[in-house]
Chain A
Amino acid sequence: MTETLVPFDEVLEKYDPAMGLEVHVELNTNTKMFCGCPATFGGEPNSQVCPTCLGLPGSMPVVNAKAVESAIRIGLALNGKIAEWCRFARKNYFYPDMPKNFQTSQYDEPIVYDGYLDVEVEGETYRVEIERAHMEEDTGKTTHIGGATGRIHGADYSLVDYNRAGIPLIEIVTRPILGAGAKAPQVAKAYVAALREILLGLGVSDVRMDQGSMRCDVNLSLAPKGSGTLGTRTETKNVNSLRSVERAVRFEMSRHAGILDAGEAIFQETRHFHEDTGTTSAGRAKSDADDYRYFPEPDLVPVAPSREWVEELRASLPERTADKRARLQVEWGYSELEMRDVWAAGALSLIEATVAEGASAQTARKWWMAELSRSANDRGVELAELGVTPVQVAEVQKLVDAKTLTDKLARQVFEGLLAGEGTVSEIIDARGLAVVSDDGALGAAVDEAIASQPAVAEKIRGGNQAAAGALIGAVMKATGGKADAKRVRELILEKLA
């Protein structure tokens, strides 16, 4: 098999890409999809399991009403139709992380169908059509023991914790996304980002890609340019950051083109994405072993959401993202460009939350878009996954407003937060970052500066206030940068008046 990569720009000279995105979202319900076990993370292994989610003989599932409600709300927010009648089915295949060796999922009768999401890339809007969103359950978590890499391949054996088994998932599947051309990687990323924003707004999931509560599979195929056909696709599994979504599409486009250019055929298979290199490698071939033998789950009865319920949920939906974006732009007084950058960086909700905590829209934007965006970029993570919260940003800004911190010191606080040094106040204490605002201490430093630079002092006395800068610099140096420069200036001018 050819593994020549065609440079991205050249791919588009000969091929049209088609993408399909399958996103799995773990709901943040209290309990699992089909039993009353906690759906929270972090429990001791196999401490959050019962006969049902452990697949013990004789156990039976009962549907979590809240999960159905979340599915419907997601469907409505994605402009989808809500099935009047739908069922769960069994997807039969053997795998040790799946207690029953079938996944209770929805097959040809999903609860949500025919939705769409408009996403924006560089000011241009793309409509991503959503084929379906359906309810299913998560699998257990496997740890591979032995072997060189700790990965599944080459391991001696594996250990399974079923705490995650049965946590409700919503799988959201797009129709083939066509016509994005060179922007395909960005459209893919923008779609997942927009989806995440909506899910955050609905409050139905933590949507942490880094923690696996949102997972993305990227289907990609190339067809000869202008042919209007669909080529053979590959499915890259578990692409778990926005940046990786973009990179995975880009890489697969280059790889497919290399194979097609060599006159070879694309092999329908799943691919693994490697975060470190941004490449994919071959996984499982699609085969007749993929005969999942779906049939309606006989232990569950159909779900037939009443239209009243659906309308009630529709009425309770949060503001649509587009409306919200327009409203906030006005409220915050951002320019069109500023707002677009905020949106593209995935900072809208973060800034909104920061403002809600008392920071001004301008300062919130400053911290998130300048300081923190840079850190996120350096680390190759999303802003939301950086580990700094809106509450902390607002807290820091409050201290700046109170003149307890300068902007420069504030930056050091963020450094401390990113380094995991503790809370804002712990970092200020530990690093000794508080502004020296005590006039006594400052006064001594000012006196010293005046004494050491008599010529400068004389100029100021003579009415040359601009000369104060040299003395201010000396005071700042003496206080380790912790003095409020404005106050220092006032003191100098007072003393030399």
Chain B
Amino acid sequence: MPEITRDEVAHLADLARIDLSDAELDHLAPQLQVILESVASIQGLAGDDVPATSHPLPMTNVFREDVVTPSLTPEQALSGAPSVEEQRFAVPRILGDEQ
């Protein structure tokens, strides 16, 4: 049976950028464990001979011509922004490097 520990939930929350409180972690970990147990039944059910389906309808090659279409105005683009400066989105200081 798969095991999802509190520490693992904390790590996943970190990966998903959610600042879970201790109380939330306590609450969530056992719930996730129950869900995980219920979905674990499918492990090993389909072998290598079964292809994976990522998309229900088999389609390929859907392209767009390289023709410019109207963009939003900067006002529209920035209309929902929590903070704007010099027509740019103002964001708090960034700690990590670009990838």
Contact = CB atoms under 8 A, between A and B. Distances in A.
B36 to A, nearest CB: 17
Contacts of B21: none
Interface residues of A, number: 62
A289 B97 CA distance: 12
A93 B97 CA distance: 12
B50 to A, nearest CB: 16
A97 interface: yes
Interface in B50-99: 54-55, 59-74, 77-78, 85-94, 96-99
Contact of B61 (A45, A97, A139, A301): A301
Nearest to B66: A66
A160 B88 contact: yes
Interface in A14-38: 29-31, 35-38
A48 B62 CA distance: 23
B15 interface: yes
B63 A65 contact: yes
Contact of B71 (A50, A142, A237): A50
A143 interface: yes
A305 B55 CA distance: 19
A156 interface: yes
B87 A44 contact: yes
B62 A63 contact: yes
B85 A159 contact: yes
A68 B73 contact: no
Contacts of B17: 94
A288 B10 CA distance: 14
Contacts of A96: 89, 91, 94
Contacts of A348: none
B73 A29 contact: no
B66 A270 contact: no
B67 A31 contact: yes
Given A47-B74, A65-B63, A162-B77, A38 B93 contact: no
A430 B66 CA distance: 43
Contacts of A29: 66
Given A63-B62, A291-B15, A301-B60, A48 B71 contact: yes
Nearest to A146: B93
Contact of A159 (B89, B96, B98): B89
B66 A160 contact: no
B60 A304 contact: yes
A161 interface: yes
Interface in B2-20: 11, 14-15, 17
Nearest to B97: A284
A36 B64 contact: yes
Contacts of B15: 289, 291, 293
Contact of A38 (B71, B77, B86, B89): B71
B68 A30 contact: yes
Nearest to B96: A284
Nearest to A147: B93
Interface residues of B, number: 38
A4 interface: no
B88 A161 contact: yes
B73 A47 contact: yes
A465 B65 CA distance: 72
Given A62-B62, A65-B66, A46 B94 contact: no
Tell which of B11, B61, B66, B86 has the most Cβ of chain A within 10 Å.
B66
Given A85-B60, A284-B96, A301 B74 contact: no
A67 interface: yes
Nearest to A305: B61
A50 B67 contact: no
A41 interface: no
A424 B78 CA distance: 43
A65 B64 contact: yes
Contacts of B60: 85, 301-304
Given A50-B71, A95-B99, A283-B97, A45 B66 contact: no
A85 to B, nearest CB: 7
Given A143-B88, A301-B61, A45 B74 contact: yes
Nearest to A159: B88
A45 B94 contact: no
Interface string A271-308: 01000000000011000110101011010111111000
A305 B61 CA distance: 7
Contacts of B97: 152, 237, 270, 272, 283-284
A142 B73 contact: no
Contacts of B68: 30-31, 36-38
Contacts of B98: 95, 97, 139, 237
Interface in A299-355: 300-305
Contact of A45 (B55, B72, B86): B86
Given A45-B86, A95-B96, A157 B63 contact: no
Interface in A155-178: 155-162
The 7 closest A-B CB pairs, nearest first, are A36-B69, A66-B66, A65-B63, A159-B88, A304-B60, A284-B97, A296-B54
15 contacts: A30-B68, A35-B69, A36-B69, A36-B70, A45-B87, A46-B78, A46-B87, A46-B89, A50-B72, A64-B64, A85-B60, A95-B96, A142-B94, A159-B91, A237-B98
Interface of B: 11, 14-15, 17, 54-55, 59-74, 77-78, 85-94, 96-99
